[in-house]
C-alpha cells in the first residue's frame, strides 16, 4: 500500500506565534522545526496558556508551576526562542469559549504573526483510539477562532488593534497532517529541548522513556513521507 506524501510547509515568512496549553507541548513534536526556523533568522514567540502546575502528581501546583516555567524557558532557549509568555489559565481545566477567544485574540494582535502554530486538537492522536486531552483540544480550537477574531475590528475591540496578517495556522502532530518540514539538521536540538523538561519527564514515571527514541519514531515516519530523514508534521489551515 502506498504511503501518502507530505507537502512542505511554506517558509517564506518572518514571524510565528506558537500557542499551546502546557510547558512541553511544543517539545513533544515541533521544537526541532522551531530550531530550524530560528536558525534561518525567523522570529518565533511562545505563548503557553498554563504553567503546567497540575502536570506532576508528586509535586504540589504552587511548586510545580514555577518549576515547569523554568524548564520551559530553558527548553525554549535551546531552540533559539527568547520570548515566552505564560497566560495563567488553569492547567487541566481550560475551557473553550468567548473568554478564551478574547485572551488569545489580544495575544495575536499584540505579536502580529504571519504563522500561528498550535498542537493537534483532534479527538485523537492517531485518528483512531489514542485519545487527546481536553486542554489541547480547547486550546487549538480557540486558537483557530482567535485568528479570525483578531482580523475583525468589531470583535473584541478592547483587545488591541485588528491584525489580519495571519496567513496560516499549523497544528503540530495532527493525525490529519498533510504537510511537514524537514528537521533532519535540527533533530538533535529538538531532543535536547525535550530533555530540558527533566522534572516533568521524571514525574511521568515512565522508567523506559527515552526522548530521542520517542521523537525519532515520529520524525522518521514523517520524514519518509516528506522524502527526508526526519520531519515534523502539521495540519495546515488557511483563515
Do the domain assignments include residue 42?
yes
What does each C-alpha distance from 172 to 3, 65, 110 come to in angstroms? 19, 24, 23
- Which uninterrupted H or E stretch holds 77? helix 61-78
Do the domain assignments include residue 1?
no
Do the domain assignments include residue 136?
yes
Do the domain assignments include residue 2?
no
Other beta carbons less than 10 A from residue 112's beta carbon: 15
Do the domain assignments include residue 174?
yes
User: Beta strand 15-20 with 115-119: parallel, antiparallel or unpaired?
Assistant: parallel
Do the domain assignments include residue 72?
yes
Q: How many domains does the chain have?
A: 1
- Residue 165 contacts residue 222 (beta carbons within 8 Å): no
The CATH number of the domain holding residue 218 is: 3.40.50.10320
Q: Look up the domain containing 110 and give its range.
A: 7-237
What pLDDT sits at residue 206?
Answer: 84
Q: What share of the chain has pLDDT > 70, as a percent? A: 99
3-class SS of residue 146: helix
* Rounded-to-integer distance, Cα 189 and Cα 128, Å: 30
Do the domain assignments include residue 125?
yes
* Rounded-to-integer distance, Cα 237 and Cα 221, Å: 22
Q: How far apart are the first and last CA of the chain?
A: 34
Q: What digits encode the pLDDT tens for the residues 164-216?
A: 999 999 999 999 999 999 999 999 999 999 999 999 999 988 888 999 999 99
Q: Give 233's strand partners.
A: 180
3-class SS of residue 152: coil
Q: What digits encode the pLDDT tens for the residues 30-88?
A: 999 999 999 999 999 999 999 999 999 999 999 999 999 999 999 999 999 999 999 99
Q: What is the pTM of this model?
A: 0.96
Greatest alpha-carbon span in the chain = 53
Work out whether the CA dihedral 33, 161, 238, 95 comes out positive or negative: positive
* HSE, side-chain direction, 13 A CA sphere, residue 27: 30
Other beta carbons less than 10 A from residue 63's beta carbon: 11
- Residue 69 contacts residue 196 (beta carbons within 8 Å): no
Amino acid at each position: 500500500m502506498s504511503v501518502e506524501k507530505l507537502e512542505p510547509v511554506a517558509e517564506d515568512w518572518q514571524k510565528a506565534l506558537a500557542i499551546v496549553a502546557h510547558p512541553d507541548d511544543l517539545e513533544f513534536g515541533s521544537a526541532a522545526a522551531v530550531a530550524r526556523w530560528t536558525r534561518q533568522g525567523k522570529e518565533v514567540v511562545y505563548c503557553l496558556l498554563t504553567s503546567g502546575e497540575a502536570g506532576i502528581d508528586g509535586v504540589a501546583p504552587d511548586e510545580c508551576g514555577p518549576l515547569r516555567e523554568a524548564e520551559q524557558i530553558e527548553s525554549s532557549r535551546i531552540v533559539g526562542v527568547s520570548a515566552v509568555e505564560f497566560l495563567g489559565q488553569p492547567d487541566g481545566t481550560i475551557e473553550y469559549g468567548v473568554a478564551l477567544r478574547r485572551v488569545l485574540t489580544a495575544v495575536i494582535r499584540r505579536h502580529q504573526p504571519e504563522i500561528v502554530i498550535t498542537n493537534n486538537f483532534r479527538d485523537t492522536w492517531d485518528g483512531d483510539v489514542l485519545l487527546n486531552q481536553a486542554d489541547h483540544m480547547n486550546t487549538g480550537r480557540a486558537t483557530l477562532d482567535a485568528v479570525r477574531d483578531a482580523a475583525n475590528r468589531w470583535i473584541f475591540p478592547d483587545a488591541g488593534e485588528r491584525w489580519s496578517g495571519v496567513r496560516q495556522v499549523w497544528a503540530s502532530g495532527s493525525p490529519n497532517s498533510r504537510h511537514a518540514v524537514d528537521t533532519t539538521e535540527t533533530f538533535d536540538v529538538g531532543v535536547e529541548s525535550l530533555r530540558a523538561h527533566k522534572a516533568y519527564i521524571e514525574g511521568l514515571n515512565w522508567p523506559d522513556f527515552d526522548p530521542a527514541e520517542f521523537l525519532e519514531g515520529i520524525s522518521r515516519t514523517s520524514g519518509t513521507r516528506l522524502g527526508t530523514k526526519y520531519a515534523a508534521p502539521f495540519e495546515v489551515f488557511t483563515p
